[in-house]
A = this chain, B = another copy of it.
Amino acid sequence: MLTSVDPDVIRVLGDPLRLRIVTLLARETLCTTHLVEETGAKQTNLSNHMKVLREAGIVETEPCGRFTYYKLKPEVLAGLSEQFAELAASARTAAENKRACP
């Protein structure tokens, strides 16, 4: 029982634009040009966020000629899901574990 979520991943996903990117990438593998079209953000901005996502280990890059495709690493999301499930399960039993008033 670790009952703790990786703060780094959550912090990275905390940005609305990055969460949007992740949601888009969960549907299909896309390259930067597609993401620029979908999100309306500037290419530079996207590239910055993609770097953050890459360094956090959430996405993988796959060069395809001049294009760079990004795809999610499902195991990271699955890990998050499991950690939150553990937290939820632990929280259900925590209602009775009330520490006494000092």
Q: Which residues of A contact B (CB under 8 A)?
A: 3-5, 7, 10-11, 13-16, 19, 22-23, 25-31, 33-34, 64-65, 67, 69, 71-75, 77-78, 80-85, 87-92, 94-95, 97-99, 101-102
List, in ascending order, chain B residues with CB within 8 A of A82's CB.
81
Say what secondary structure dominates the interface of chain A.
helix
List, in ascending order, chain B residues with CB within 8 A of A29's CB.
94-95, 97-99
List, in ascending order, chain B residues with CB within 8 A of A77's CB.
84-85, 87-88, 91
Q: How many copies does the complex hold?
A: 2
- Contacts A81-B85, A90-B27; A101 near B67 (Cβ below 8 A): yes
Q: How far is the CA of A39 from the CA of B102 in the complex (A)?
A: 16
